[in-house]
Amino acid sequence: GHRESVPDGEFIKGDLGDENLLQRIFKTYPIHTVMHFAAFSLVGESVQFPLKYFENNVSKTITLLKVMLEHGIKRFIFSSSASVYGEPEEIPITENCPVRPTSPYGASKLMVENILQECDRAYGLRYVSLRYFNAAGADESGTIGENHHPESHLIPLVLKAAKGEKENITIFGTDYSTDDGTCIRDYIHVTDLAQAHLLAMDALENGEPGGIYNLGNSYGYSVKEVIETAGKVTGRQILVVEGPRRPGDPAILVAASEKIKKELGWQPRFQDLETIVKTAWQWHRNSP
């Protein structure tokens, strides 16, 4: 994360593993709901360094849960991931599909979901777990966008190549069982994702039981389609290099999002890839 991405509200820099800091925060502020976004999220890195991911994504979440429960806070919204499904048996993926993560990253998210279920049973914690598909785009104001170090998400990588900050874009795997041989993903605009969190918070505050929800647009686009769309939006040629598959990458991940629409009233505003890429390009074009 970046300090400049939090222009409003009070900002406290710290580590979820710092129990003393968490104690001070929960003693100082009248918190009623916790939204937990922080995690390591690189699939390939998680395969190489699984303990790093289990320590950060699981152990530190346990610390957070322990302290908030000590302070009587029993509403929790968790950033989970479609990676819990692994190689799905059916497309689109419903919340009832088997969960068989193919990477330690996905396994870490599933572990936390299991922990939340047990905390619900034992302590009365009410939670919503949002299984993100591919978050993308930028705030419509053009002031907040994706800025990872190193960058790992496809759309910003492609736009960096369009901007001339990268020589080319690598396609990892062109032999998948898809129409053009490249992976297919479901892209959800960050504004729609944020709105889902607010609806989840409202539902918990209104006494709803919570649960697990997919968070995606229910449309799938291949890597090649993303690159072509970025070229159309930017008006620039993007040089492509083909590389081998990355470990832990499923061929297709597309959400069935009927549950969150029906139960929480969520309706995405940004449903086509070109619009999502346009908002991202607006930010990247003007960013340093």
Per-residue pLDDT 10s for the chain (288 aa) are 677 777 788 899 999 999 999 999 999 999 999 999 999 998 889 999 999 999 999 999 999 999 999 999 999 999 999 999 998 989 999 999 999 999 999 999 999 999 999 999 999 999 999 999 999 999 887 777 676 666 678 999 999 999 999 999 999 999 999 999 999 999 999 999 999 999 999 999 999 999 999 999 999 999 999 999 999 999 999 999 999 998 768 899 999 999 999 999 999 999 999 999 999 999 888 876
Residue 91 lies in a domain: yes
Tokens of 131: 């299984």
Q: Give just the sign of the alpha carbon dihedral 101, 213, 117, 18.
A: positive
Choose the catalytic residue: 29, 53, 85, 105: 105
Q: Amino acid identity, residue 177?
A: S
Residue 69 lies in a domain: yes
CATH classification of the domain holding 134 = 3.40.50.720
* Per-residue pLDDT at 288: 63
Alpha carbons 157 and 134: distance in angstroms, whole number: 14
Residue 144 lies in domain: 13-286
Q: Which residues of 229-259 are buried (b: 16+ CB within 10 A; e: fewer)?
A: bbbebbeeebebeeeeeeebbbbbbbbbbeb
Residue 192 lies in a domain: yes
Answer yes or no: 105 catalytic: yes
Residue 2 lies in a domain: no
Residue 4 lies in a domain: no
Residue 157 lies in a domain: yes
Long-range pairs of 116-124 with CB within 8 A, sequence gap ≥ 24: 116/65, 116/76, 116/78, 119/65, 119/69, 120/210, 123/69, 123/74, 124/74
Give all strands of the β-sheet with 126-132 in edge-to-edge order.
Answer: 34-36, 75-81, 126-132, 210-215
Residue 95 lies in a domain: yes
What would the pLDDT profile of 64-110 be if each residue is shown by its tens digit?
999 999 999 999 999 999 999 998 989 999 999 999 999 999 999 99
Residue 264 lies in a domain: yes
Q: Tokens 């937990």 identify what position? A: 36
Total tally of structural domains belonging to the chain:
1
Alpha carbons 78 and 33: distance in angstroms, whole number: 11
What would the pLDDT profile of 162-197 be if each residue is shown by its tens digit?
999 999 999 999 999 999 999 999 999 999 999 999
Looking at residue 217, the DSSP 8-state letter turns out to be -
* Per-residue pLDDT at 149: 66
Give the end-to-end CA distance of the chain in Å, rounded to a whole number.
17
